[in-house]
Amino acid sequence: MNRPTTTAGLHEQLWQAVVAADEYAAVDLVVQAMDDGVSGEDLLLDVIARVQERIGSEWAADRLTVAQEHAATAINERVVTALSHHRAMRQGKPSRGRVTVCCVDGEWHAFPARLVAEILQLRGWQVDYLGAQTPTPHLIAHLHSTNPAAVLLSGSIPTHLPNAHRAVTACQATGVPVVAGGRAFGADGRYARVLGADGWAPDARAAAALLEEGLTRSVTSAGRQALDDLPHLADQEYTMVVQARPRLVRQTVLDLETRFSAMAGYDDEQRERTAEDIAHIIDFLATALYVDDAEVFLTFLTWTAHLLEARKVPAASLLVGLDILAEQLHDFPRALRILTAGRSALHAMAAGPPALAEPAAAGADA
Amino acid sequence: MGCARSVPQMVKASRGASARSRDTGSQAGTSWADVPFPVLVADRHGRLARLNDAARTLLPLAEAGGWLHEVAPPWLVDAHRSFAEGPPASAAAPLTGPVGDRMVTARPTASPDGEVVWWLLDDTDRHRAETELRGEKQRCELLTDVSSTLLSTLNLPRCMEVTAALAAQHLAEAAVLVSPSQGRHHQLTYACRYGDVRQVARRIDPYSVPGLPEALQGFPPVPARWLDPGEIPDWVLPPGFTAAVGSVIVTPLPGHGVPAGVLILLRSGTERAFSGGEENFARLFAARAGAALSAARLYTEQTAITATLMRELLPPALSSVHGVTYAGNYRPASDHERVGGDFYDVHPGPDPSRETLVALGDVAGKGLDAAVLTGKIRNTLHALLPLADDHQRVLRLLNGALLTSHHGRFVTLVLASVRRDGNRVDLRLTSAGHLPPLLVRADGTVEEAGTRGTLVGALPEVTAQSYETTLAPGEICLLYTDGITEARGGPLGDELYGEERLRRALTACGGMPAEAVVEHVQMLASQWLGPGGHDDMAVVAIGMDRNGPAPAVTPQDTTRRNR
């Protein structure tokens, strides 16, 4: 359906309805568009998915709170549900094979996976949609009982990449290929490759195209372990940083209080918020150690710096925080390299014009 | 005699020997003639000068003065020619090749008068041992691969596919796996060495293949045997197997008490028996495949049984009823389980003018034992629905029922009677030893419902105070279990999430749809969690359906059932 002007107009109208939490206006809008003959796939991907992206970027730019983001997402979910009940979307018997769509263990952003599930159903696949935060044991049990042609694994937050890796290797050990998708895997899908996924799809259409091309079943390698894909994990830095996380957070908060004078005036809630920020920084550091790529850490760090500035918290506290972490991790060469890169990135940011970044690949829910 | 000069230096001339023919160097005594290995001496042109007894045994036609190429295998003739043209600068690797039915290693040495002495070593046994060792190693590696591949899946169709494909790849050119009958049909899995695997369910006559009925019935395994290809019915031939069948073998798969099926192997060309090693390998393969298939079959059966038993224990999918929206989410304590000791239910009133009963509770304990009790409590509450006007009476009756049962566990729960009345929702809330529900007002104020009561199933008497309130549009009543507030973790790793944090989070939720509040609360608690595990976590939100009083039946969103 070539109605670009229509879908563009619809996007703006739907955005207005969704942020106003006006479920009925939102649902009516897409149902009407469907009645007018706009295809379900175009509505899902060119209107609804764009609105969802905008919800994400508005949240990332601190213009929506987490709660608002959830409310808007819930409305958008209802829109998808209403659409999937529209008669024009009803499918007959699936004409293609069976596939499983799920989120990485710990991943709460289910919307992209939901869209993929809807699109694949439209394209004739029999889809089992397991939803947000699928525990890997459930996923594997599901694979044993359904033997799907592929698993489509969705991840939005990079800190879940180690979980994603566990899911990828576990699926492949049962002989089922995995297509990874979502922001967590990098804008170019680099982390999907690092983790040994059989494919990567930047969006739902690409995922459908990959499946239609046909994936070869993975050569079963029951003996494969995390170390075979990521030999650098042998240095144990990732493991130790994850295990030491509570101690690292506590020590960093303590040291910040003595070295960063503004913290003296913090109340308990601000102090807890600071601790959460530090915990996130450590989580992203651990992720960078896991995939052996500082980029995932730097993207998060610069985004956090922008966010703190927007909240009138001096980003200099971040530099002090990195220093304190570096002192505690002095025995960890890879972690130190990543922290040093982080320092340079923050310095470069302070020197340059304060561009308000579009932190596409960053993000952790506060 | 000049021969002594021409033999290699290591062989010393001796006087002892006398009665030997000229061409074996009779004067040499303990000479190369007595060496227990064949030795040949040939001139540059390939004419045999001398040979010893051992060489004569190896090459019966050889005699001094004859031509090497008339009696020796071509590889040795070629080697002689190239060595005679010019010995290699460095010592070349020894040559090995067949001589008759023996394997021989040959090493040349040059003598000063241009002759070449060939020292031959009969290597047949070592060679045979090496070949067997190599074969055994390959089979061992293959078996390891096969085992890993077979063990990787517990899905029965997939396991059958893998078995047939591996058999076609390593045991024969094509394979058919005949699984035990299901009704009148047998599942047949066909595989060709270079083709796809196909599965069909077909009615077949097992008696059309000799040995098949016995193998399928699990009689003691008959030795694998080759059949006359003429006896084979058409259904045995895999689609795409166009070659003329040369030989067929029927191998039962031992299933250890569970029928595992029969493997039919096909080879094209002339009938060919297994070698000893191959036969051993086929038996090991069948044992592995049989074990894997029976494990997959058991798993499939157990999964089906569990799913059936579990269906009643899973939390229900919630939606809008009589103008009120209900949303719920449940996360069991352990990730490998789907049920636990928390539960919730929404029992719609018979019509929109009557109350809907919502129950959310927490049985002491975790896991399956607790889940079984939640099932009993849910059934009991369901049966008590006609009395739901009186929460205290329902709790008393439930208390009596629990006290007289044998498990000795108790439960805390919240009952909510809900009715839409115009532009508001009337609520009657009763807590029995449970965390009181929280009311999230449209402006973000969070109130605690003023209801208190004793837990159920522990004491002879229960008392509980109900609390009545109303919800305006955009307001939410939240029922939750202590798994949320007792989530341990946070940035410092060992703090409880606590009611205070929950309330603070809810202040941001005024005006949010019920599903969004539920998801938000579950997400916050899950993100708070450290690695130390958690209790069951259940959340139910009640809010006004802004659509006005809804029709009696609303479509359920089936795609979200697992959320």
The closest of A132, A166, A126, A315 to B522, measured between CA atoms, is: A132
Whether A71 contacts A20, CB under 8 Å: no
CA distance B239 to A47: 47
Identify the pLDDT of residue B273.
Answer: 58
Is A139 found in the same domain as A46?
Answer: no
φ/ψ of B328, rounded to 5, equals -145, 155
Which chain A residues are closer than 8 Å to B511 by Cβ?
Answer: 21, 71
pLDDT of residue B558: 37
- Contact list in A for residue B562 (CB cut-off 8 A) is 129-131
Torsions phi, psi for B137 (to 5 deg):
-65, -45
Q: Are B149 and B249 found together in one domain? A: yes
Q: Would you say residue A202 lies in a domain?
A: yes
Does B389 share its domain with B460? yes
- Find out whether A357 and A276 touch, Cβ atoms under 8 Å: no
C-alpha distances (whole Å) from A223 to each of B151, B164, B290 are 11, 22, 21
Q: How confident is the model at residue B270 (pLDDT cuts 50, 70, 90)?
A: low
pLDDT value of residue A353: 53
For residues B507, B508, B511, B513, the Cα torsion angle rounded to the nearest 10 degrees is: -110
Confidence of residue A149 (pLDDT cuts 50, 70, 90): very high
| Residues A335 and A224 both lie in one domain | no
| Domain C-terminal end among A229, A245, A269 | A229
A81 to B546: CB separation less than 8 angstroms, yes or no: no
pLDDT value at position B272?
58
Question: For the CA atoms of chain B, what is the radius of gyration?
Answer: 43
- Residue B405: its pLDDT value, please? 83
CATH number at residue A108: 3.40.50.280
Percent of chain B's residues with pLDDT above 70: 87
Kindly state whether residue A257 falls inside one of the protein's structural domains. Answer: yes
> Among the three residues A212, A229, A246, which one is the final residue of a domain in this structure?
A229
The domain boundary residue, chosen from A67, A90, A113: A90
Q: What is the dihedral of CA B56, B62, B67, B71, to 10 degrees?
A: -100
Mean pLDDT in chain B? 85
Average pLDDT over residues A131-143: 90
Give the DSSP per-residue string, A281-342.
Answer: HHHHHHHHHHHT-THHHHHHHHHHHHHHHHTT--THHHHHHHHHHHHHTTT-HHHHHHHHHH
State residue A126 phi and psi, 5-degree precision.
-90, 115
Q: Check whether B551 has a pLDDT greater than 90.
A: no
Q: What is residue B89's predicted lDDT score, i.e. its pLDDT? A: 64
**If you average pLDDT over residues B81-110, what whole number do you get?**
83
DSSP 3-state of B174: strand
Q: Are A196 and A227 contacting, i.e. CB atoms less than 8 angstroms apart?
A: no
Shared domain check, A225 and A120: yes
DSSP 8-state symbol, B431: E
- Quote the CA–CA distance of A248 and A328 in Å, as a whole number: 7
- Domain region containing A124: 95-229
Q: Of B87 and A268, which is predicted with more confidence?
A: A268
Asked if B354 and B394 sit in the same domain, the reply is yes
Asked whether residue A118 carries a pLDDT value surpassing 60, the answer given is: yes
pLDDT band at A219 (very low <50, low <70, confident <90, very high): low
CATH of the domain at B205: 3.30.450.40
Biggest CA pair distance of chain A? 67
Q: What is the C-alpha separation between B68 and A233, in angstroms, rounded?
A: 64
Q: Looking at residue B243, what is its pLDDT?
A: 77
Give the containing element (helix H, strand E) for B106.
strand B102-110
One domain for residues B55 and B84: yes
Rounded to whole angstroms, how far apart are CA atoms A101 and A115? 10
Domain total for chain B?
Answer: 3
Going by the DSSP 8-state scheme, the letter that residue B386 receives in this structure is G
* Domain identity same for A64 and A104: no
Q: Which of residues 444-503 of B touch A (CB under 8 A)?
A: 490-494
A243, closest residue in chain B (CA to CA): B531
A119 in Cβ contact with A91 (< 8 Å): no
What are the tokens at A276? 């959460």
B15, pLDDT greater than 80 = no
- Rounded Cα distance between B161 and B189, Å, is 6
Model confidence pLDDT, tens digit, residues A80-111: 988 888 877 776 788 899 999 999 998 989 99
Nearest to B290 by CA among B383, B218, B206, B345: B218
> Nearest CA of chain A to the CA of B515: how many Å?
7
Q: Scanning every residue of chain B, which has its alpha carbon at the shortest distance from the alpha carbon of A144? A: B155
Residue B1 pLDDT? 39
Q: Do the chains contact at B151 and A175, CB–CB below 8 Å?
A: no
In degrees, to the nearest 5, what angle opens at C-alpha B160 toward C-alphas B159 and B162?
65
- Which of A259 and A220 is assigned the larger pLDDT? A259
Q: Write down the pLDDT at residue B410.
A: 92
Q: E-strand spans in B166-308?
A: 174-178, 186-192, 197-202, 225-227, 245-252, 262-268
CATH number at residue A261: 1.10.490
**Residue A352, pLDDT score:** 64
Q: Are A175 and B555 an interchain contact pair (Cβ–Cβ within 8 Å)?
A: no
Chains A, B: CB contacts under 8 A, how many?
129
Report CA B258 to chain centroid distance, whole Å: 18
CATH number at A8 reads 1.10.1240.10
Band of residue A243 on the pLDDT scale cut at 50, 70, 90: very high
> What is the pLDDT, as a whole number, of residue B350?
92
B325 and B444 assigned to the same domain: yes
pLDDT of residue B225: 64
Same domain, B452 and B545: yes
Tokens 């030999």 sit on residue: A231
Q: CB contact, 8 Å: B196 with chain A?
A: no
Q: How would you classify the pairing of strands B342-347 and B438-440?
A: unpaired
Is residue A360 assigned to a domain?
no
Residue of B301, B196, B197 lying closest to B255 (CA atoms): B301
Q: Are residues B347 and B299 in the same domain?
A: no
Token code pair at residue A363: 């993000």
Please tell me whether residues B355 and B500 are part of one structural domain: yes
CA-to-CA distance for B2 and A363, rounded, in angstroms? 95
CA–CA distance, B316 with A16 (Å, rounded to integer): 33
| Domain identity same for A61 and A102 | no
A358 domain-assigned: no
Kindly report the CATH number assigned to the domain that includes residue B427: 3.60.40.10
Given a cut of 70, whether residue B518 has pLDDT beyond it is yes
| In contact, B512 and B476? CB cutoff 8 Å | yes
Look at residue A64 and tell me if it is in a domain: yes
Residue A217 has pLDDT above 80, yes or no: no
Measured CA to CA, the distance from residue A144 to residue B69 in angstroms comes to: 66
As beta bridge partners, residue B200 has B188
Q: What is the mean pLDDT of residues A48-55?
A: 93
My answer on whether B101 and B140 are in the same domain is no
Quickly state the pLDDT bin for A150 (edges 50, 70, 90).
very high
Residues A107 and A204 in one domain: yes
Q: Residues B49, B115: contact at Cβ < 8 Å?
A: yes
Domain count, chain A: 3
- A317 and A274 in a common domain: yes
The verdict on residue A361 lying in a domain is no
Q: Using a CB-CB distance cutoff of 8 angstroms, which residues of chain A are in contact with residue B158?
A: 147, 174-175
Please give the pLDDT value at position A355: 47
The DSSP line for B50-102 is EE-HHHHHHSTT--TTSBHHHHS-HHHHHHHHHHHH---SSPPPPEEEEETTE
Grouping H, G, I as helix, E, B as strand and the rest as coil, residue B447 is: strand
Same-domain check for residues A204 and A300: no
Q: What is the ipTM of this complex?
A: 0.86
Domain boundary among B73, B96, B122: B122
Q: What confidence tens digit (pLDDT) does each residue in B350-409 have?
A: 999 999 999 999 998 878 888 989 999 999 999 999 999 999 999 999 999 999 887 778
Domain span at residue B381 reads 316-560
**Rounded CA separation B140/B137 (Å):** 5
More confident residue, B280 or A143: A143
Domain-terminating residue out of B59, B93, B122? B122
> Do A217 and A245 sit in the same domain of this protein?
no
A102 domain-assigned: yes
| pLDDT at position A364 | 39
List the one residue out of A219, A138, A213 whose CA is nearest residue A174.
A219
The pLDDT tens digits of the residues spanning A311-329 come to 777 778 899 999 999 999 9
Which stretches does DSSP call E strand in A178-271? 178-181, 199-201
**In whole angstroms, what separates CA A297 from the centre of its chain?**
14
Report the CATH number at residue B99. 3.30.450.20
Question: Does any domain span residue A359?
Answer: no
A chain contacts of residue B191, beta-carbon cutoff 8 Å: none
Only one residue has tokens 């004569």, namely B56
Q: What is the mean pLDDT of chain A?
A: 87
Q: Do A240 and A225 fall within a single domain? A: no
Whether A99 and A207 share a structural domain: yes
Q: Give the integer Cα–Cα distance in Å for B306 and B287.
A: 28
**Residue A223 confidence (pLDDT):** 64
Judged by CB atoms within 8 Å, which residues 269-308 of B form the interface with A? Answer: 299-300, 303
pLDDT category at B258 given cuts 50, 70, 90 is confident
- C-beta of residue A347 within 8 angstroms of C-beta of residue A316: no
Q: Are residue B108 and residue B219 in the same domain, yes or no?
A: no
Report, as an integer, the average pLDDT of B430-445.
95
Instruction: Tokens for B484, please give them.
Output: 């949320």
Note the pLDDT of residue B221: 60
CB spacing of B512 vs A67 below 8 angstroms: yes
pLDDT average, residue stretch B288-295: 92
pTM given for the model: 0.82
Q: Are A300 and A339 in contact (CB under 8 A)?
A: no
* Backbone angles phi and psi of A128, in degrees to 5: -100, 115
Interface of B with A in 113-172 (CB under 8 A): 148-149, 151-155, 157-158, 162
Give the residue, A356 or B366, on which the prediction is more confident. Answer: B366
The CA-CA-CA angle for residues A204, A208, A211, to 5°, reads 140
Q: How far apart are CA B215 and CA B552, in angstroms?
A: 58
Mutate to test the interface with A, among B147, B155, B189 (most CBs of A within 10 A): B155
Q: Which residues pair with B471 in a beta bridge?
A: B425
- As to burial, measured by CB atoms within 10 angstroms (0-12 exposed, 13-18 middle, 19+ buried), residue B313 is middle
The reply to whether B464 and B532 lie within a common domain is yes
Instruction: Give the pLDDT confidence of B121-156 residue by residue, as tens digits.
Output: 988 999 999 988 998 898 888 888 888 888 888 999
Q: Is there a contact between B557 and A81 if contact means CB atoms under 8 Å apart? A: yes
Which one is predicted more confidently, B25 or A26? A26
Contact A174 B149 (CB under 8 A): no
Q: Are residues A215 and A100 in the same domain?
A: yes
User: What amino acid is encoded at B196 in this protein?
Assistant: D
The alpha-helical segments, DSSP class H, found in A157-236 are 161-173, 190-194, 204-213, 226-229
Among residues B122, B150, B176, the one where a domain terminates is B122
Same domain for B134 and B231, yes or no, is: yes
> In degrees to the nearest 10, what's the CA dihedral of B62, B65, B69, B71?
-10
